Amino acid sequence: MSAAPEDAAERRRLVLVLARYDAAGAAPPGVDPAAFAHACLADTYEVAADLVGARSGLVGPAALDALLWPGSLRLEERGLRDLLAACAEEADEVVLVPADAPDLPGLALAKQLKVLHRADVAVAPEWGGPGCVALGFRLPVAAWLPLEDLDLDLDPTSTLRAVAPSPALVEVTPQWHRLRGAAGVHRLDPALEGWEETRALLSARVRP
């Protein structure tokens, strides 16, 4: 089992948005897929950057630097094991988020961070889909975790629980939807604050 600081206030927390999980495939008719993916990425990152007590960051090319808030981190795309090794130099806990969840509530990420002081890994399943909307790790990564088998497009809960030394080391936190297909846009909640760039892009599409 990997160690974690005893005082929650001293834990270094990091939330990273992974650009490669983009929402281009969910762009509705009349909306440029690249522009839609960028808007969703920007909104998802804003959720992470707005969290109190956690550092935010993006995983992707240097072109993303323009989106970063001061003090945020950008890492180049790499395999999960190498990515988490790089994160271990910056944090005691990290939550990975796909860039196709623009209206993800900050509370969903806060709940991931809340459980990582006692669990090695936390999974927030994708509502209505096969993946997950957040995947959190206590750092350094526990040796028992099968990192080569983990992907945000597949919910790893059953796999992880099958190999975990103890069920308590795998936490499941509340689910949320992602924008991975045409139906995804209809799940966006207009009543939720945030997702401004995505909202503006969709609004512009229907104006006369």
User: 16, 59 in Cβ contact below 8 A?
Assistant: yes
- The answer to whether the peptide bond before residue 208 is cis (omega within 30 degrees of 0) is no
Looking at residue 5, its pLDDT comes to 38
3-state percent breakdown (helix, strand, coil) of the chain, nearest 5: 40, 20, 45
* Mean pLDDT within 100-112: 96
For residues 208 and 152, the model is more confident at 152
Q: Note whether residue 157 is domain-resident.
A: yes
Cα separation, 98 vs 148, whole angstroms: 18
Q: Note whether residue 113 is domain-resident.
A: yes
Domain count, the chain: 1
State yes or no: pLDDT of 205 exceeds 90: no
9-68 tens-digit pLDDT? 589 999 999 999 999 999 999 999 999 999 999 999 999 999 999 999 999 999 999 999
Q: Note whether residue 105 is domain-resident.
A: yes
Q: Please report which helix (H) or strand (E) contains residue 115, including its range.
A: helix 106-115
**Predicted confidence band at 190 (pLDDT cuts at 50, 70, 90)?**
confident
What CATH number does the domain containing 68 carry? 3.90.550.10
Q: Note whether residue 3 is domain-resident.
A: no
Cα separation, 156 vs 177, whole angstroms: 16
pTM, two decimal places: 0.93
Rounded to 5°, angle at Cα 185 from 183 and 187: 85
State the residue range of the domain holding 69. Answer: 11-202
**Predicted confidence band at 204 (pLDDT cuts at 50, 70, 90)?**
confident
Q: What is the arrangement of strands in the sheet containing 13-18, beginning at the earlier edge strand?
A: 73-75, 55-59, 13-18, 93-98, 132-138, 121-125, 170-172
**Is the Cα torsion angle 62, 91, 140, 57 positive or negative in sign?**
negative
